[in-house]
Structure formats: structure tokens, C-alpha cells
Amino acid sequence: MKTILITGGAGFIGSHVVRKMVKNHPDMQILNLDQLTYAGNLENLFDIESSPNYSFIHGDITDIPFLEKLFGEHEIDGVIHLAAESHVDRSITDPMSFINTNIVGTVNLLNACRHKWKDVEGKLFYHISTDEVYGSLGSEGLFTEETAYDPRSPYSASKASSDHLVRAYHHTYGLPVVLSNCSNNYGPNQFPEKLIPLAIHNILHMKPIPVYGKGENVRDWLYVEDHASAIELIFSKGVPGRTYNIGGLNEWKNIDLIRLLCGIMDEKLDRVAGTSEKLITFVKDRAGHDLRYAIDSSRIEEELRWKPSLQFEEGLVRTVDWYLKNPEWMENVTSGAYQSYYSKQYGER
């Protein structure tokens, strides 16, 4: 039985990847390593926590002695590395936490693998990154795997640095690695600091929906379960040393997205059409706000036969339905109740 370490597995994307790997690969032992910071929540994984091929490990990838102990106790055959600080606004106010987790933490994991994997046959380090490393697009064009890096925020710069380090360990030490860079994810279990769950929460409570600038920034949106499927496929069949861009083929201006969401929410909540849209509040634009991101996913489509399964409108309805059916989850994460619970279990963070 192979043992696969998934870092950040209690987070938004990570929990969907963990669930998919546990359910689809009973022949693999899945270790979920998470520090359980504000965005890591084991409530995301209640449905698989008793599975015989699943274990949760509480720990910090910036803690070298902890990682040495972990890799000494387990014969880890593969790493799917999702643990990261990921919110651009937080990176602007606290860049050092992004440098420590996203850069130093990644190097610590790479070193742990390099020192442990004397024979790299059957081993793989899979690093998940973001399209934000490529910078900003104009009104035309797409990011490809050959697009030059041009990060514009502390967050994207920290992810760009970690990408370069992963590739450097492949070329310098022969470490088998794959990388992927994805567009904006959305779907169930996303912490409500991000645009879509924040807007859903605020609409529910008739609070202002903040939209940066004039809402003209464009993003490509990828349903989280489609992303998890792509990650599973890349981990199983990706070519070592290769990078794969994962996009949803769903470009939307922020303001158009929010108006669509408002219409869906009005219908679901039996409100008069236009009620939620009155909550839209334009706020001062984010510093260094990139205008447009758009992904060319042709490599993963051609080489691995992956395509997103959902168009944005369908995925957005599914997302709204999930949040409306799980008000306790939203209440727990917005109140911090789940953090208090896990602090008692694993110690103050």
C-alpha cells in the first residue's frame, strides 16, 4: 500500500482532494497534514474521517524537526502539496506569513523528500500553484505553461518562488516533481473571505457586498471538484518535470458574476428580483489589482484528456445550494466556533 501525504488537506481545495483520493484509492494510505489555521477545518471531512485508509496529522510544514519525525515514521511515496497562505489581501498586510509558509514550508518539504527518497522510483512531489504567478493579462490572450512569470502581489510572488524552487530541486537533485497552476476556484467549503462565499454570506444577512473598483477585473472560474479531479489525474499520470495549467474556461467580470449570484440568491430565497443587487457596494480597489487572468488548458486536455465538467452558471447554482443547505458550517467558520473546538484538541495556534 502506497502512502500519500497531502498537505493542507483540511482546507478548501485540499479537503476535496483528500476526499477524492480516499474514496477512489482504497489501495493508498492517505495522510492529511494540516496546521488547522483559520481556513483549515476538519468539519470539511467528517464524511471520510473513519475511513481505514485515512489519517489526520496536525502539524506545521515550517517546523523542520516535525517533518523529519513525520518522514521517519512513515514511508511516504508521494506528496500532494496544497498547504499555503492564499488570500491576496492578507498577503498585503502580512507578507511574512506568506513567505514562511509558501516558500520556507515548501523548501522544508522538498528537503524532507530529497533526504528520504534515496531511490526515487515510484516517488512524486506534486506542487499545486496558481495562475497569479503569471501576472496580469490585457483584454486578450491566455496564460500558457510557457508564459513568463510576473507576480504582482506578495502572495503571487511567494507562490512563484516556490514554483521555481520545486523545478530547481527537480533539475539539481533529480527529485521527481509535477506542478500545476490553476485559475480561481469556487464551490462548497470555501472560507468566506473569498468573493463568492463572502457575497453569499452577506446576501443572506442583507449586508453590503464589497466589490473592488468598478468590478471590471476578469477571472477564470474553476469548480473545485473539477480541480480535484484534475489533481488526481496529474498525480496518477502527469509526466515528471512537467507543468499543467488548469482552467475552468469560464471568464467573468467580477461585477457580472456578482449580479448573476444576486439573481440566483433572490430566486432561492424567494426575494423580489433585484433585492440582493441593491447590496452591491463599490469599494477602493486593491493595491496592485491584476486586471485579467485566463488559462489555456490545452496541455492537460490533450495529454491527460481532462476537461472541466461544469459551466459557471451550473457550478454557481450548486455552490449556492450547498451553502443554503449547510448554514451551520457557515456559522461555525464565521464565528470561529470550529477554531475553539480544534484549539482544545490540538492546542492553541
Supply the residues annotated as catalytic.
131-132, 155
Number of neighbouring beta carbons within 10 Å of residue 344: 9
How many CA atoms are closer than 13 Å to the CA of 309, on its beta-carbon side?
Answer: 9
Nearest partner of 137 among 265, 311, 290, judged by Cα: 290
The amino acid at residue 237 is: K
> What angle (nearest 5°) sits at the alpha carbon of residue 240, between those of residues 235 and 246?
55
What the block records as the C-alpha cell of 63 is 517546523
What b/e readout covers 114-142, taking b as 16+ CB neighbours within 10 angstroms? bebbeeeeebbbbbbbbbbbbbbbeeeeb
SS3 218: strand
Distance CA 61, CA 68 (A): 10
- 80 neighbors 128 (Cβ within 8 angstroms): yes
